[in-house]
Homo-oligomer: A and B are copies of this chain.
């Protein structure tokens, strides 16, 4: 990693100088300096500009731009502009264009409109990446490589079909094994040759009615995309072993298994686009997920909007201080950058109304330019104290793409299944108590944690089950819920009663699962004893799903309030080894989860850094035994943080603070012991 990356919070973003002449470029560079910008990403969408015909390269244009940037002392992530191939490439080699889920050969247009398995695409993309590496690897301002852009297009062409069959052969070895693992006997899907396999599409409805096939295609497309990334990345890596190579993950992170993608990347790059009405806890959770992708390493927010977006239904301009608080939330959760899409607004095209640091007006006296400049000045002050700083958590939450896909591929028990929003319910309870959490893979080491939450771990690999059992046995506290442990890694349900491999550790079995109508409610009645001891309320509301469970050793803490299973258990704890495992058989209201988290805090001796009043978000990053506290007031009514006896310095103002500090909406403190 270069000194520049080691010492600076990256501040700047996507810049597309092919849309403007040299005059504008010069002005823009002036403006960048005014605003404290230190890095731009380019040329993300300039393949044709650089290779106007096959194997004819015209790098002079880019040379001059990089010269200017180097002169100005600006750094840059060089992008391979392979997120949108040239029209000439699509025209010359139609194999480059994908076939969609409806079986339609695409025509040239939009972006990320190529088949990730196309040989020709890969050949030309690698050739261009190679040329870029060759020409620019010694450049002064080069800080890293940004490959393509927001991958995520699935293809169903014959080439993909062939590769999919090989992928399956590789995964399952024999047809017999595949037939067994997918239970193809159901609906006579039995295969007698790999050649018979068709991708799950609208042409066979298997995208809806064949969950194992769909899951496989999701995995295959992820692997194909990772290969497509590596095809370029390996060349860049060879040329500059010390610089990071990565891509930017799009907003819809569900499409590809980012855990698999990240295996072949040096650092996580993510595009953070909260909707105007998203709660701050949701973007906080996404940030934590990003930090989890490389096991807690810091990551880059590659894009966020300095003002309105254009593709929301209602594109609100950012409120005063909003872009700043969003920027700090990223830093607070593990990002080492504040990068924007985009530095200058496009005059035309799909995103011409998307906000930019410099708008169509070209002016630097706009509200947003001034806010960005203010932020730039602040970030300079933070210096390198944050870069690479770690987040140390005592709580982990398991989040898994295969589980996500499988849960939502399912037909039944309810159409309202939304894994992320289920996780968010648990996350919220932690977040509002300022308990930080690591998002973990099913393969992560769990040993350092006091508490593991594993909501809706429907698809439970045997190894993961073993880890969870060991974790609990060794004194950990496990939280599991309805729909845990039903299926194996091929989405085949277990025989012998749910929660399958976790039946012992949870001390119960689940007989059947009732789905509630959207406006239907049940309730959790807390046992007298537990209530007296732990300060829970008498009754909490619940909805969504209600599992009928039978304790086999677990102690009952709560009963169903209504319906024919009223009085049956729905909240249990099982002492197991040195630890314990809670089970929540229905979806509780937030107050229940808040009480549960407070119970865990007490029992497991976990605490927030400081007490707060109102919705005040606190996180801590640590580097060289130095703690940095990020405090963001997310409460429209304002709030306060009580530092007690501690005396901390606000690194943004230099002010020394202690005791109770009042905060207005969107106020940010960055506190340290310096």
Contact = CB atoms under 8 A, between A and B. Distances in A.
B495 A314 contact: no
A111 interface: yes
Interface in A408-423: 410-416
Interface string A359-381: 11111001110000000000000
B111 A309 contact: no
A192 B52 contact: yes
A494 interface: yes
A51 to B, nearest CB: 10
Contacts of A47: 188
Of listed A84, A109, A310, A495, residue having the most chain B CB within 10 A: A109
Contacts of A90: 196
Interface string A175-189: 000000011011111
A509 B362 CA distance: 12
A105 interface: yes
B86 A347 contact: no
Given A110-B204, A193-B88, A512-B317, A498 B360 contact: yes
24 contacts: A49-B185, A49-B190, A90-B196, A109-B203, A109-B213, A110-B210, A183-B346, A211-B349, A212-B349, A314-B518, A315-B412, A315-B414, A316-B516, A347-B493, A348-B487, A348-B492, A350-B411, A352-B493, A353-B412, A354-B412, A360-B495, A362-B495, A366-B511, A366-B512
A91 B191 CA distance: 11
B564 A319 contact: yes
Interface string A468-511: 00000000000000000011001111111110000000000101
A599 B92 CA distance: 63
A115 to B, nearest CB: 14
Interface string A204-242: 111011111100000000000000000000000000000
A317 B69 CA distance: 66
Closest 9 CB pairs of A and B: A109-B204, A310-B412, A186-B349, A183-B348, A87-B196, A353-B412, A84-B188, A361-B497, A109-B206
Contacts of A416: 314
B187 A110 contact: yes
Given A45-B185, A413-B310, A198 B107 contact: yes
Contacts of A86: 188, 190, 192
A514 interface: yes
A444 interface: no
Question: How many copies of this chain?
Answer: 3
A112 to B, nearest CB: 10
Contacts of A45: 185-188
Of listed A311, A349, A355, A518, residue having the most chain B CB within 10 A: A349
B515 A316 contact: yes
Interface of A: 16, 18-19, 45-49, 52-53, 81, 83-88, 90-91, 102-111, 113, 182-183, 185-193, 195-198, 200-206, 208-213, 277, 307-317, 319-320, 345-355, 359-363, 366-368, 410-416, 486-487, 490-498, 509, 511-518, 548, 564
Given A49-B185, A313-B414, A205 B319 contact: no
Contact of A203 (B107, B311, B320, B487): B107
Given A46-B185, A360-B498, A195 B353 contact: no
A212 to B, nearest CB: 6
Of listed A111, A187, A198, residue having the most chain B CB within 10 A: A187
Given A186-B19, A308-B515, A311-B411, A113 B204 contact: yes
Contact of A351 (B84, B309, B411, B413): B411
B411 A185 contact: no
B314 A415 contact: yes
